[in-house]
Structure 1
């Protein structure tokens, strides 16, 4: 069985290399100088997702091998701050997509996931079990106002108000500019994680009506610890947007979020556990190379079988 996305060595980020297929396997060619090129072979069979950053070129034979090994390929910005496009292998399981659609199309399950998303933002806060979605939205608004106030006081800023006006972009203060740029970076890495899982970025549980609704849902889980502190720290920056992107690129800060994003998404879509063992997985999830037929009573049935009545 191919490794799951949550396993170690699931994501690999490359930039400024040429990815080719040779007689041994898929390798990254690194141009050290005019006379020297180093080769680094990629463990394609152990990769769930290959992230291609700036300056990367890849050959068709290399893409074919990655697809054959079930590896998703996502084109991203430097340090993962954007997700431009993704190539999903035919062998990628639809298990998580089916879970997402089933939860999204059921109003009770969708509400349950939306409530749990809000609860994840509050972390250890003592919330009553009977709290409603309307109440959670109100509590989230209060929490963000309090967080803005604390960060503003820490950085010696006067009263802060979150504003997002694309038509008045240049007139915004440095914190708002940095926050918008940092949020876009966070959306990129979340988008890459969702593509690697084979999920639809459009089917959100809190947000709705946009192609990236689910991206916004998941990104909101991490803003309080990632984008907000960074944006307020740049309140004196002359170029807060560029600086925010640069800070996120340093040490691949956003890429380090990937395993956590995967765990959280799987936890939301499968409330019982994120640590599904091979023995516990449904048969249709294990047989990812097989096509199945849907049946309203039996669920997934094997394809390639003649179901004509016996004796006819």
Structure 2
């Protein structure tokens, strides 16, 4: 009898695909998930397919999914985020922790959001990304909200004109996906996928999804902040385009997710997200990625971890 565990050994951090290089998301429902070596096997009525775990950023598990302990072990080791969602992937019920060993980005985020001046500066940087031709560095939050509201209304109007899909406003019932108009259903599905991708990037890099700069008070506040940077360019035009091309019997949620997924990959959105997130929080590329643990000291600064310190009085001498 041996103590060896069957299957591939846990991958070293240097062997895993970086979050910027991964496939954005994979939505699964009514399937069984298991593990074979370093791949997740997905079994449904159509057959079995193997998915390389280390190349997925987020797995969205919908209704009817059975997942084994071995599969979850591999997903955890590979650093993929897992989000349990409702039908059509439009409601989040729970999530699993992603692989993140450095707290450097989280500490930077906490410092920035805890100071009114630095928080305002980050919020302005977010709005500046949406208004590249206008200097917003002196605008108040109230003025920025008004400017953003006008921009979003214009984006919806232009998308409606370009696609020929009628637009009367964003209305939806989170408890009844099918009750919304086709365009509102498509927007809900598209934004849900974008939120999942934003969440995956945020936690994979070690930041907090709850410490928002514009949104606040919710455990996904920063996810909403971050997603708003990309809606006008990605999810809103896609939703209108999908609805314009609908035929009888089409599943709006599924068709929208597929279109959004393709845009995520083709547009290299994850690569941009990683760079944007680090820039917003003031971290240079490659900085703070080392797996280092220190002990904090209010007088001596950072001290070595894993050392047996002998007792001494307030006067170390």
Query: What TM-score do the two structures reach when normalised by structure 2?
Result: 0.71
1:114 aligns with one of 112, 118, 123 = 123
1:162 aligns with one of 145, 166, 169 = 169
Unaligned runs of 5+ in 2: 1-11
1:210 aligns with 2:210: no
RMSD of Structure 2 on Structure 1 (CA): 4.2
Summarize the Cα distance change of 1:182–1:293 in structure 2 as closer, same or farther, 3 Å threshold: same
State whether residues 207 and 216 of structure 1, in contact with CA within 8 Å, keep that contact through their aligned partners in structure 2: yes
State whether residues 26 and 58 of structure 2, in contact with CA within 8 Å, keep that contact through their aligned partners in structure 1: yes
Summarize the Cα distance change of 1:251–1:49 in structure 2 as closer, same or farther, 3 Å threshold: closer
Aligned residue pair count:
292
State whether residues 91 and 174 of structure 2, in contact with CA within 8 Å, keep that contact through their aligned partners in structure 1: no
Summarize the alignment of residues 110-189 of structure 1 with structure 2, pairs less than 5 Å apart. 110-122=119-131, 124-127=132-135, 129-156=137-164, 160-164=167-171, 166=173, 173-189=181-197
Summarize the Cα distance change of 1:57–1:111 in structure 2 as closer, same or farther, 3 Å threshold: same
Q: Give the C-alpha shift of residue 53 in structure 1.
A: 4.4
1:8 aligns with 2:54: no
Cα distance in 2 between the residues matched to 1:216 and 1:125: 23
State whether residues 82 and 187 of structure 1, in contact with CA within 8 Å, keep that contact through their aligned partners in structure 2: no
Summarize the Cα distance change of 1:108–1:83 in structure 2 as closer, same or farther, 3 Å threshold: same
State whether residues 186 and 239 of structure 2, in contact with CA within 8 Å, keep that contact through their aligned partners in structure 1: yes
Summarize the alignment of residues 1-312 of structure 1 with structure 2, pairs less than 5 Å apart. 2-3=13-14, 5-9=18-22, 13=26, 15=28, 16=31, 18-20=33-35, 25-29=37-41, 42=52, 49=57, 51=59, 53=61, 57-61=66-70, 63-64=72-73, 67=76, 69=77, 71-75=79-83, 84-88=93-97, 92-122=101-131, 124-127=132-135, 129-156=137-164, 160-164=167-171, 166=173, 173-233=181-241, 234=243, 242-250=251-259, 252-253=261-262, 256=265, 257-270=269-282, 273=284, 275-276=285-286, 281=287, 285-288=289-292, 290=293, 292-305=294-307, 306=309, 308-309=311-312
Unaligned runs of 5+ in 1: none
Q: Secondary structure of 1:19's match?
A: strand
Q: Give the C-alpha shift of residue 247 in structure 1.
A: 2.1
Deviations 1:67-94 (A, max 9, x none): 5x56244135699876554333686222
Cα distance in 1 between the residues matched to 2:50 and 2:231: 38
Summarize the Cα distance change of 1:264–1:308 in structure 2 as closer, same or farther, 3 Å threshold: same
Q: Secondary structure of 2:238's match?
A: helix
4+ residue stretches of structure 1 with deviation over 6 A? Answer: 36-40, 78-82, 167-171, 238-241
Cα distance in 2 between the residues matched to 1:32 and 1:50: 20
Cα distance in 1 between the residues matched to 2:260 and 2:136: 39
Q: Give the C-alpha shift of residue 2 in structure 1.
A: 2.3
State whether residues 89 and 192 of structure 2, in contact with CA within 8 Å, keep that contact through their aligned partners in structure 1: no
Summarize the Cα distance change of 1:155–1:203 in structure 2 as closer, same or farther, 3 Å threshold: same
Cα distance in 1 between the residues matched to 2:13 and 2:181: 48
State whether residues 128 and 136 of structure 2, in contact with CA within 8 Å, keep that contact through their aligned partners in structure 1: no
Q: Give the C-alpha shift of residue 286 in structure 1.
A: 1.7
Cα distance in 1 between the residues matched to 2:245 and 2:41: 41
Q: Secondary structure of 1:253's match?
A: helix
Comparing 82-91 with 101-110, which one deviates more in the overlay? 82-91
Cα distance in 2 between the residues matched to 1:223 and 1:104: 23
